């Protein structure tokens, strides 16, 4: 048995028994020690599931394609810096011969084949243009800048560096496959090698995109139900479209990192008691869709009767569904507010959650809005009955109708409030 066969047999046994092949874990461990990366206490314990995947996919839909958020820009810049450090460390330890894959197919059938190739000190990678097409290029995309590293005559983009490093430390290291669960596990395994700020960008780039590919609305026969294999509109994994490239920030309950800006200084912290299983932050039962809620006369009446109190720095307005408010319209005109929405993260699907969970969801929602460049004011949904508490909400400036509906869907709301020049205060079902 030659050396390759020995490595293959040894690693295959380890892999089949749920173990880890040591060579890459040794490289990872030495990198974490050398760069003093803050340890993450969370463990990835339960496989990816539709509830988790659809929540992340819908959140990805709400991220602007190329946000002007300073946090997003800084997070991607930090991730790129750390990707280069990981690439250089990997090469120092492994001395891989890295080559662009010359064919249209994928370089490897699975992550195990990649691992064997790495043990032979070789790695194929799929060039950015070959993977996503030439129309993916955009001047505002920090993943498409020159990395300063060349392989032969080819100048590697930062996205090429990312794909190489993520294939090694995300997929090959623990034999995470390229299916939905393997992709999410690869995100988690690789994320612990990054600083909290860089982890924000990595989460958008991997967890967000892969969840959209495998659980997005293009794969569903309803808001909360995926097409099954064998059904007419089911799409095989190898035929699913790539997600749009987005430079933004997903909700902190998805990344596990809370980020704040004060006096132009960005601060990050790991969420206490966080787990990568975002369904723990969601409802226990999947809510009916907005269309179902619209058919519920009592629920519709409750939404219509609610008073929405919006508080700006010096003025407060009380708004009601389908009731004009001339003073508020003048305020919007004076402050260049062309469209707006009132959205809450409380009580998803109109099912009551504990106040502690509602407050955590609301804080995460506000953080998500501000880090993606949305201007907001505080709002309160005040019911007319005593059996329902007022709900913390946010007034979002200049958000489009479609984006507002997507935002409501992402945060599991039956309905939102929207307004523009043509609509005084409209109830929209999600």
Residue predicted with more confidence, 342 or 14: 342
> Could you read off the pLDDT of 161-215 as tens digits, one per residue?
999 999 999 988 887 888 999 999 999 999 999 999 999 999 999 999 999 999 9
> Could you read off the pLDDT of 360-389 as tens digits, one per residue?
889 889 988 988 889 999 999 999 887 788
Model confidence at 139, pLDDT cuts 50, 70, 90, reads low
At 99 the pLDDT is 93
Query: Burial of 319 by CB count in 10 Å (0-12 exposed, 13-18 middle, 19+ buried)?
Result: buried
> Given a cut of 60, is residue 2 above it in pLDDT?
no
Identify the weakest region by mean pLDDT among 132-136, 318-322, 418-422.
132-136
The count of C-alpha atoms lying within 13 angstroms of the C-alpha of 405, restricted to the half-sphere facing its C-beta, is 11
> Given a cut of 60, is residue 43 above it in pLDDT?
yes
Identify the weakest region by mean pLDDT among 111-120, 191-200, 330-339.
111-120
At 109 the pLDDT is 83
Model confidence at 132, pLDDT cuts 50, 70, 90, reads low
> Given a cut of 80, is residue 290 above it in pLDDT?
no
Q: If you average pLDDT over residues 109-128, what whole number do you get?
A: 84
> Given a cut of 70, is residue 230 above it in pLDDT?
yes
CB within 8 Å of 32: residues ≥ 6 apart: 39, 192, 193
At 282 the pLDDT is 59
3-state helix/strand/coil string of the chain? CCHHHHHHHHHHHHHHCCCCCHHHHHHHHHHHHHHCCCCCCCCCCCCCCHHHHHHHHHHHHCCCCECCCHHHHHHHHHHHHHHHHHHHHHHHHHCCEEEECCCCCCCCCCHHHHHHHHHCCEEEECCHHHHHCHHHCCCCCHHHCEEEEEECCEEEEHHHHHHHHHHHHHHHCCCCCCCHHHHHHHHHHHHCCCCHHHHHHHHHHHHHHHHHHHHCHHHEEECCEECCCCCCCCCCHHHCCCCCCCECCCCHHHHCEEEEEECCEEEEEECCCCCCCHHHHCCCCCCCCHHHHHCCHHHHHHHHHCEEEEECCCCEEEEECCECCHHHHHHHHHCCCCEEEEEECCCHHHCCCCHHHHHHHHHHHHHHHHHCCCCEEEEEEECCCCCCCCEEEEEEECCCHHHHHHHHHHCCCCEEEEEECCCCCEEEEC
Model confidence at 332, pLDDT cuts 50, 70, 90, reads very high
Percentage of the residues of the chain whose pLDDT score is greater than 70: 87
């Amino acid at each position: 048995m030659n050396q390759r066969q020995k490595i293959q047999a040894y690693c295959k046994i380890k892999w089949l028994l749920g173990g880890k092949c040591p060579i890459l874990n040794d490289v990872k461990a030495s990198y974490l020690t050398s760069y003093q990366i803050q340890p993450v206490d969370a463990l990835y314990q339960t496989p990816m599931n539709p509830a988790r995947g659809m929540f992340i996919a819908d959140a990805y839909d709400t991220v602007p394609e190329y946000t002007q958020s300073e946090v997003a820009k800084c997070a991607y810049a930090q991730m790129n810096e750390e990707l280069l450090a990981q690439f250089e460390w990997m090469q120092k330890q492994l001395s891989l011969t890295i080559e662009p894959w010359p064919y249209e197919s994928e370089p490897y059938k699975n992550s195990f084949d990649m691992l064997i190739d790495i043990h032979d000190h070789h790695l194929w990678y799929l060039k950015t243009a070959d993977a996503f097409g030439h129309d993916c290029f955009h001047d505002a995309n920090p993943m498409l800048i020159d990395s300063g590293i060349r392989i032969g005559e080819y100048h590697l983009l930062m996205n090429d560096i990312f794909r190489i490093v993520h294939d090694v430390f995300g997929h090959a290291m623990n034999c995470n496959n390229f299916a939905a669960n393997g992709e999410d596990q690869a995100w988690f395994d690789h994320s612990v090698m990054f600083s909290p700020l860089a982890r924000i960008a990595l989460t958008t780039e991997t967890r967000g995109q892969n969840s959209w590919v495998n659980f997005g609305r293009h794969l569903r026969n309803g808001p909360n139900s995926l097409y099954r294999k064998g059904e007419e509109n089911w799409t095989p994994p190898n035929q699913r479209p790539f997600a749009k490239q987005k430079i933004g920030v997903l909700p902190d309950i998805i990344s596990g990192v809370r980020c704040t800006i004060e006096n132009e200084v960005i601060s990050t912290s790991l969420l206490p008691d966080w787990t990568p299983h975002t369904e723990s932050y969601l409802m226990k039962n999947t809510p009916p869709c907005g269309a179902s809620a619209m058919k519920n006369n009592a629920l519709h009446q409750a939404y219509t009767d609610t008073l929405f109190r919006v508080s700006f720095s010096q003025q407060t307005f009380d708004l009601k569904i389908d009731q004009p408010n001339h003073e508020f319209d003048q305020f919007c005109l004076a402050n260049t507010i062309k469209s707006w929405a009132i959205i809450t993260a409380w009580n998803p699907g109109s099912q009551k959650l504990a106040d502690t969970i509602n407050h955590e969801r609301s804080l995460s929602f506000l953080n998500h809005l501000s880090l993606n460049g949305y201007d907001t004011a505080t709002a309160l949904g005040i019911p007319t009955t005593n059996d329902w508490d007022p709900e913390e909400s946010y007034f979002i400036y200049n958000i489009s109708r479609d984006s507002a509906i997507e935002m409501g869907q992402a945060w599991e709301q039956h309905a939102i409030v929207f307004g523009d020049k043509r609509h005084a205060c409209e109830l929209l079902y999600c």
